[in-house]
Each structure stands twice: as C-alpha cells, then as structure tokens.
Amino acid sequence: MTLRFPMANIRVLRAWLTAPHTVRADALREFLWFGLKKAVSCSFAGGFFLVLAASRALSAAPLPRYDAILLGAIALQAAMLWTGLETRDELKAICLFHLLGFALEAFKSNPAIGSWSYPEFAYSKLLGVPLYAGFMYAAVASYMIQAWRHFDLRLHDAPDPRRSAAVAIAIYANFFTHHFLPDLRWLLALLLLGLYRRTRVYFTPWRRRLWMPLPLAFVLIGFFLWLAENAATFLGAWTYPDQHLSWRMVHAGKIGSWALLVVMTFVIVADLKGLKQRLHRAVPPAARIGRQAP
C-alpha cells in the first residue's frame, strides 16, 4: 500500500525546511507560547483533575470522597482568586455556569432519566447531585474566559448576538427536551455552521496574529473535552450506565454534545464581555475612578 501526501503538505514542509533559521525559531516560539497559554488557561481544569486523582486515595478516609472533592474544588477556586489567575468579575460569570450546570445535572442524573449517576454517598448532595458537579461546568467556562484574555481573542464577521443567543438557548433546552421530543442536535449543528460559516477567531500566541474558522475551534475544544470526560469518568467523577461494572471509554458521539456545550459557553462568555464593554463605554471616565468631573 502506497502512502500519498497532499502536495499542499509537501509544500508546507519544504517551506519550513528551507526557511531561514530565525523564521523557524520564531515559529517554534509561537508554538511554545501557544502551549504555555493553553496550559495557563486550563489551570482550574488541571487542578480539578489533580483533586479527582487525589480523592481516589481517600476511599478509607472518614470523609466521603465526593465531599472531599467539593472541599478541594473550593480551595482551588480560592487559590485562583488569591493568585490573580481569575478576577472577581470572571468569578461572577463562572458562577452562572455553576447554576446552569447544576440544573442540567439534577435533570440528567434523576433516576427517571438516568443519563449518568453519582453512586457514592455524600453529605453535600442536593437532589442526588454532589455540589462539586457545578465546578466541572465552571472549569469549561474558566478555560474559555482565560483563553479569551491570554490570547486576546477577537471575532471577525461574527453573527448578530441575538441570533447566536437564540441558538445557545435552543442548545441548552435540547439537552432536556430530547428525552421527550425529537433530538434536534444535528439541526442545531447545521444552524451553527450556517451562522458561523464566515466567522474567524483571531488569537495571539506570542507576536503573530493568527486565526482559524470558529466552527473548527468549537469541534477541537469539544474533542479535548471528550478526552477529559474519559479521564474524569476513569477517576470516578461520575458514572455512565455502561460503566457501573467496569470502566470503558465514553462513546465518541459525545464529542458532538461537548462541541454544542462549547458553543453555548462561548456565546454566553462573548455576550457577557460585550455587555461589559457597552456598560464601560456608558460610564463617564471620571465615574470610573470614583470621583466626579471637575
């Protein structure tokens, strides 16, 4: 069997190999800064995984494991604020995702629905959901908010915010209604492709301003969240029905669900940032520093 590489890839490789040393060095720096900023943006998510891993050693401890995870997540959130990795304004936005996430968790883990479950005992359960569950949705929002700041994200040719907000609401509603009504996720995905077909997201890893199609960014983040979901279920964060006897990988179809959740998160973050900018412009400069104009 002969492997054939597209000519475009060969041209890119040849251009890289024949580029001056400074060009290759700058490209490497861009790549390294991209990885560093991604890692910093994932600070909360990475810390939460460390908490999950540490909780596996608490099986014989007097404190239930879910309660230990909650305390660890609260300590992690406090550390994010204390170190300045997150601001108070960002925390306010993240709290919104706690509420949205908990409502979804309470519905999905209800025995009548049974999408997943939290089988272990905990004092900090409410409606059958351990309170740390909201932090998992907050981790996605934290990543989105920090990436926006660290990479100086800007959108080109973005759709009307009212249309994107309507689709985001429909996505969230479909997570509930598809248990009783037709599942509209593929229709919503097509609507999103039409809505964002021309939208580019610009970002700066180091010095160069780069861009990619926004729908591609949604899918890529959804894929990495699916990988994170596999790690989380392996560490016992929650359990799917087919994982009760032994752990197995989450079906790849979940990538689409995660991509839709990313869209919803992105739209909320973008709309909140837009609202903050409009409010900032509406406040006179003198009022922003706490004194009246002379």
Q: Would strands 129-130 and 154-156 be described as parallel, antiparallel, or unpaired? A: unpaired
Q: Which of 63-67, 118-122, 256-260, 274-278 has the lowest mean pLDDT?
A: 274-278
Could you please report the per-residue DSSP string of 17-83? HHS-HHHHHHHHHHHHHHHHHHHHHTHHHHHHHHHHHHHGGGTTSSS-HHHHHHHHHHHHHHHHHHT
User: CA 151 to CA 41: how far, in whole Å?
Assistant: 9
Residue 259 and residue 140 in contact, taking contact as beta carbons nearer than 8 Å: no
Residue 112: alpha-carbon gap to chain centroid? 28
Whether pLDDT at 6 is above 90: no
Residue 107 and residue 113 in contact, taking contact as beta carbons nearer than 8 Å: yes
Whether pLDDT at 288 is above 80: no
Residue 27 lies in a domain: no
Place of tokens 């995984």: 49
Residue 294 lies in a domain: no
Task: State residue 73's pLDDT score.
Answer: 95
Q: Which residue has the higher pLDDT, 261 or 282?
A: 261
Residue 57: alpha-carbon gap to chain centroid? 27
Structural domain of 165:
34-241+248-279
Residue 157 lies in a domain: yes
User: CA 271 to CA 148: how far, in whole Å?
Assistant: 13
Task: State residue 292's pLDDT score.
Answer: 40
User: CA 90 to CA 88: how far, in whole Å?
Assistant: 5
Name the nearest CA neighbour of 234 among 251, 247, 250.
247
Q: What is the pLDDT of residues 176-210, one digit of tens each?
A: 999 999 999 999 999 999 999 999 999 999 889 99
Residue 93 lies in a domain: yes
pTM equals: 0.84
Residue 37's contacts (CB-CB under 8 Å, 6 or more residues apart) are 147, 150, 151, 205
Axis-axis angle for helices 43-55, 65-82 (nearest 10): 150
Q: Count up the domains in the chain and report the number.
A: 1
Q: What is the pLDDT of residues 227-238, one digit of tens each?
A: 999 999 999 999
Q: What is the pLDDT averaged over residues 165-186? A: 94
Task: State residue 277's pLDDT score.
Answer: 63
Task: State residue 63's pLDDT score.
Answer: 87
Percentage of the chain surpassing pLDDT 90?
70
Q: What is the pLDDT of residues 83-119, one digit of tens each?
A: 988 888 889 889 999 999 999 999 999 999 999 999 9
Task: State residue 239's pLDDT score.
Answer: 94
